Structure 1
Amino acid sequence: MDKPVSMADRAYEMLKRDILRCRFRPGSAILDTYLAAEYGMSRTPIREATNLLRREGLVVVIPKRGTLVKPIDFGELQDTYRMRQLLEPEAAVLASRRANAEELDALAELGEASVSPDADAATLNERNRLLHVRIAELSRIPLLAQTINSLHEEIERFLNFRGAQGRPYTATNHGRIVDIIRTGTEDEIRHVVSSGIERARTHMLEGLMANDNGRTEQAS
């Protein structure tokens, strides 16, 4: 029998989703009274959820400003892609060794869902994260999956904040990753995963540069 979901768990799931989807944008205040009314619960579970999200790094406390959604640090974002390069190619190799055929079939379905033309951008960004996390889960190393999930949560938040979807190469790359995990050599798997991460990093940087250039042109 499933364990009942507590109010604190509900508050945590709703607040985390709203932060990742940038309904509460980076740097915005976390107000217990507002969230309690918004989510239809008391302030106690809101505070418990906020404390959990502080430990996960999505919420910060800044003196004289209060509790805020963590601002996006673009230096940290670059480090996130460096960490992905260190972890995800090996996670995919381990998944290729340890996942069974049924799990790989399910992974292929998740890959297709992550590029569905019927979903909105925020949903696609979430599915992108879930695909990469599922590959890590198939490595059978829970800490690895947990770490990769944290990295992708920060990327998901950035994509939703900037409105950058990255769909043109993502659609091709997701299908290729799943296929190569199923049939490729370990070196081929590492290459495909690493190349995909580098393309994502380049796409992120190009988006930042385009945004900065746009602001400069507007100011001039």
Structure 2
Amino acid sequence: MTNRTDPAGKARPGTILGIETGSRGLSVAILKDARPLAREAARSDHGQATMLMPMIERVRAAAGLGYAELDRIAVAAGPGSFTGLRVGLAAALGLALASGVPAVGISSFHAAAGGVERWAGARLIVVLDSRRDEPFVAELGGDADFLRTPSVMSVAALDALVESAAPVLLCGDAPALERYRARDGIRVQMRAADAADVARLAADPERRFDLPPKPVYIRPPDVTMPKPA
């Protein structure tokens, strides 16, 4: 691991491993000084726990790097699939512990919007798949700040928000976004969070997107705790 800073004291991009497992699939990427070295992705709703570590190892080998040569390990922290998020975060924390490389979380809202071509004058609303009829919704400002608290929203409430926000750019991977295609004043870019965007955001010199490597759920996990004996 290296300690890269510029004369002003800001962090340089460095070499970053990105991990994304909260969408309907998983992806892994390594960027060095903002340039992609290797990436792999797979579409799967299940099996991330068995697929992720071999994928990370293939990407690392393709990039020709050892884990200790990384500067950061970045992982999408959510919201998204509860099981998928836990798999990605556990892998990132385990690799960080073994290598001494710091791990950082990145919002899945920011990652999904990371490669979007902005529409001048339009509000940006990110709508992520929650596996239910109520998607995860957040509005981002010009500096990628949250203009409203991210929330779970019914389709009816989302309709009202979108209609009031026009002109509006919608992005994300929620199936509900398909209903807004071909509507006046609305543009839709279907895209899930991706490991390459996670890594790129983690390279921000001002560390604006850094989160603790912990899951961001928004709504409670679908977990039933065992009853006391």
TM-score, L = length of structure 1:
0.29
Answer 1 or 2: which has greater helix percent: 1
1 or 2 for the larger relative contact order (CA 8 Å, sep ≥6)?
Answer: 2
Q: Which has the higher strand share?
A: 2
Query: Who wins on radius of gyration, i.e. which is larger?
Result: 1
Report the TM-score, using the length of structure 2 for normalisation. 0.29
